[in-house]
Amino acid sequence: MSVSDYELVQSWSQVLDLCKLAAGQTVTLLTSADTNAQTLRCAILAVRQKGAIANRLDLQPVNGGVSLSRDPLAYVGTTPLTGNRAAVEMLKASDLVLDLMTLLFSAEQHEILAAGGRILLAVEPPEILVRMTPTMEDRTRVLAASARLQAAKTMHVTSAAGTDATFALGDYPMLEEYGFVDAPGRWDHWPSGFLATWSNEGSAEGTIVLAPGDILLPQKSYVTAPITLRLAGGYVRAIEGGYEAGHLRDYMQSFGDPEVYAVSHIGWGLQRRAHWSVMGFYDREATIGMDPRACAGNFLWSTGPNNEAGGTRDAACHIDIPMRGCTVRLDGEAVVTDGTLVEE
């Protein structure tokens, strides 16, 4: 069901307060042909209500001729900011950038953040934004979990379906997504509510078995039969199973880059207002699937680039894989048991 402009403006107002937006500051809304008109309209109203300056920077789409999907995360790295110095400088001069387009994994996003800029991504449908409007409690939960992850040296993930994989930790920073940007140089995503890091290079080992109901993104599909992925030396070395395993192999092979098989970020969902079933009610082009990414108690892992963590791998293929029913242990202590959060 759709939401009113009033509801969405209220949500934007709450988010901008959490982002510490002040009167007189400059906000640039980064848009493209696929930006949701209601999200943009209500964001501008909320910015102006705060007494801030609202600028819109509308850029032309790229990657359409090389991507196999219309999902903005189906082909990453190259964005409308690539080689566009005037646009980059405008964003660097802004107090806050509202990314209604998707800059993830781009060198330009890193440059803006390194200059002290703040970027908040918001591309999900308006009703999802309203349902998962962030709160300070979201931040508290994510940062508490982050403290446990930062102290850990290993992550061990198991499941009744046959998953048994280990990852060494400590070489990469935390990805703390709680839905707002409250400090210089911070990026976040509304809606969200999950925690991740990147395993040490070459350390991912074992077997991951995707069970029926687990999800592949950007395919935005629920797995209907088991898919077994063999990990060794930090890479997916084999993808075994039936039709869906073959479909996944074909998609990854299409990029012609061995780095797409590298294990990227690993973590778990913490958002209780996110729901596993939601994706099934949407057309594939209507959402990027933040509900399953953030759903409390999932195990979320990915393949492909690690440049957003300061690494050098900038593969164009990035696959997020939220899984249910897993147990996640940090140095032997469970933080998720059979898909249920273990909370202090």
Q: Do 117 and 144 lie in a common domain?
A: no
Q: What is the pLDDT of residue 106?
A: 80
Domain end among 96, 113, 131: 131
| Residue 70 structure tokens | 């219309």
Q: How confident is the model at residue 344 (pLDDT cuts 50, 70, 90)?
A: low
Burial of 101 (0-12, 13-18, 19+ CB in 10 A): buried
Number of domains composing the chain: 2
Q: Which amino acid is at 225?
A: A
Q: Do 100 and 150 lie in a common domain?
A: no
Q: Do 187 and 232 lie in a common domain?
A: yes
As a whole number, mean pLDDT of residues 243-250 equals 97
Whether residue 43 has pLDDT greater than 70: yes
Q: Do 210 and 192 lie in a common domain?
A: yes
Q: Is 292 in contact with 268 (CB distance < 8 Å)?
A: no
Q: What is the pLDDT of residue 313?
A: 86
Query: Euclidean distance between the first and final Cα of the chain, in Å?
Result: 36
Q: Which domain covers residue 47, as residue numbers?
A: 5-131
Domain end among 95, 116, 131: 131
Mean pLDDT in the chain? 94
Q: Do 288 and 319 lie in a common domain?
A: yes
pLDDT tens digits along 284-329 = 889 999 999 999 999 999 999 888 878 888 889 999 999 999 999 9
Q: Do 156 and 271 lie in a common domain?
A: yes
Q: Do 145 and 38 lie in a common domain?
A: no
> What CATH number is attached to the domain comprising 59?
3.40.50.2300
pLDDT tens digits along 144-168 = 999 999 999 999 999 999 999 999 9
pLDDT tens digits along 61-97 = 776 777 767 777 767 777 888 889 999 999 999 999 9
Q: How far apart are CA 190 and CA 18, in angstroms?
A: 12
Which residue has 């990414």 as its token pair? Answer: 293
Q: What is the pLDDT of residue 74?
A: 66
Whether residue 244 has pLDDT greater than 80: yes
Q: Would you call 304 helix, strand, or coil by DSSP?
A: coil
Q: Do 103 and 141 lie in a common domain?
A: no
Supply the Cα-derived Rg of the chain in whole angstroms. Answer: 19
pTM of the model: 0.94
Q: How confident is the model at residue 206 (pLDDT cuts 50, 70, 90)?
A: very high
Q: Which of 121-130, 201-210, 227-236, 276-285 has the lowest mean pLDDT?
A: 276-285
Domain end among 104, 131, 158: 131
Whether residue 99 has pLDDT greater than 90: yes
**Beta-carbon contacts of residue 6 (< 8 Å; ≥ 6 apart):** none
